[in-house]
Amino acid sequence: MNYKRYIVIAVATMMVVGAWAQNATSSPSSRFGYGELNDNLPGAYRAMGGVGTGMRSNKAINPSQPASYTGGDSLTFMFDIAGSFLYTNYGDMNGQRNRLNGNLEYITMQFPLWKRYVAMSVGVTPYSAVGYNFALSDSTTSGHQFTKTYSGEGGFTQVYGGLSVNICDWVALGANVYYMFGDMTKIRSQYFTESDVKGASQKDYLRVNSLRVRYGLQLFHTFGKHTVVLGGVFENKQRFSRSEYLQLETTTNDTVSVMSNCFEMPMTYGAGVSYNYADRLTVGLDYQSQDWSNTLYFDATSKLRNRDRWSVGVEYRNDPTSRKYVDRMCWRLGANYTTSYAMSQSMPEFGVAAGLGLPLRTIGTVINATVEYVHRGAMSGKDQLSENSLRLVVNASIAEHWFFKRKL
């Protein structure tokens, strides 16, 4: 194998880990819970509305479903790296705000260990992102005018290693082990217009290190040109191996509260189905639920609500073996609906996505471009926010034949 490949992979890994020190979002809704959650999907599946549990392909690495790794070619090493640009517009009582962010999304690798029966994937992906800065104006019952400001930054990153095994010709099992790390800082301030009325400011800091496991199952069958896949994923509720929380009153610099090991990750389960016809048409449908209502957050289970996500998507290409470039392009479209896990505000999320898969001359290499539009709304009350975002995701999916013996 060419040593230059390893150099490229090592450099790319360092770039990704370093880039996650930057803010990946400007969403006001990221002030709730652990921030804006990431579903760990490859670019191709994000263009299909976020389906993944029932997806099984030799053209995409799918960290959201560890059972899918044996769906890759038994002689092929796969490498995927993605970046994004995010435009966010949100409105509050003080008007409209616009923000622009750029970020590396993920880096993943996948390779066979034993023929088509055992495969492995490793990578670095985000779990959540916190990034916001906005203000709300209000008044007390006695007529005092004041301004509330909110700001925050940080997020959690996860490094994973996953294994998939085909236990027979139509069943695959898999598991991902994640090491999660990161920190977030949130500041809330309240200032009165009258100079004789004292305001207050509070800073929350949370740092975590933890392990967790995701299990996956896929049942698949091909008859003629038709392939059907049924999939499921599960994660048990898991307390952070190590968590440190500090709350400061910034006006006096006094420590208000110190907590440790009082935070958990939720039980998660999901199901999905996909249908493929002749490697030309693929349709997917997914459902995933996270049980945040029974998850410790600040040592209590009354802080968050359950998060449910429904996704549907389609991919089409006219002829994958054609000499015409347009015939080999992939066209993708999808939509999703997600309920918020924030207890204090009802912020359901509706998203639509579209994308293209652009094959290069190199066999197995595809550049995917995805545009996602997300609206968070259906909110009421003077502290509620409306939010719209537009994200461009570009990823390079590279597949090369590494694992074969050359004849002399």
Q: Specify the number of domains making up the chain.
A: 1
Q: Is residue 227 part of a domain?
A: yes
Cα–Cα distance, 80 to 64 (Å, whole number): 14
Q: Is residue 406 part of a domain?
A: no
Total residues belonging to the chain: 408
* Mean pLDDT on 124-138: 86
Cα–Cα distance, 261 to 183 (Å, whole number): 14
Cα–Cα distance, 53 to 41 (Å, whole number): 10
Q: Is residue 263 part of a domain?
A: yes
Nearest of 68, 66, 46 to residue 55 by alpha carbon: 68
Q: What confidence category does residue 294 fall into, taking pLDDT thresholds of 50, 70 and 90?
A: very high
Q: Is residue 181 part of a domain?
A: yes
CATH code of the domain in which 397 resides:
2.40.160.60
Residue 31 — φ and ψ, nearest 5°?
-80, -10
* Residue range(s) defining the domain that contains residue 303: 3-401
Mean pLDDT score of the chain: 86
Q: Which pLDDT value is given to residue 3?
A: 43
Does residue 326 have a pLDDT over 60? yes
Q: Which pLDDT value is given to residue 6?
A: 47
Q: Is residue 408 part of a domain?
A: no
Contact between 29 and 164 under an 8 Å Cβ cutoff? The reply is no
Q: Is residue 237 part of a domain?
A: yes
Q: What per-residue string of b and e applies to 61-94 under the rule 16 or more CB within 10 Å gives b? A: bbbbbbbbbbbbbbebbbbbbbbbebebebebee
Q: Which pLDDT value is given to residue 178?
A: 96
Range with the poorest average pLDDT among 77-81, 83-87, 147-151, 225-229: 147-151
Q: Is residue 87 part of a domain?
A: yes
β partners of residue 124 = 107, 159
Does residue 248 have a pLDDT over 80? no
Q: Which pLDDT value is given to residue 229?
A: 98
Burial-class residue 392 by CB neighbours within 10 Å (0-12, 13-18, 19+): middle
Q: Is residue 407 part of a domain?
A: no
Cα–Cα distance, 168 to 214 (Å, whole number): 21
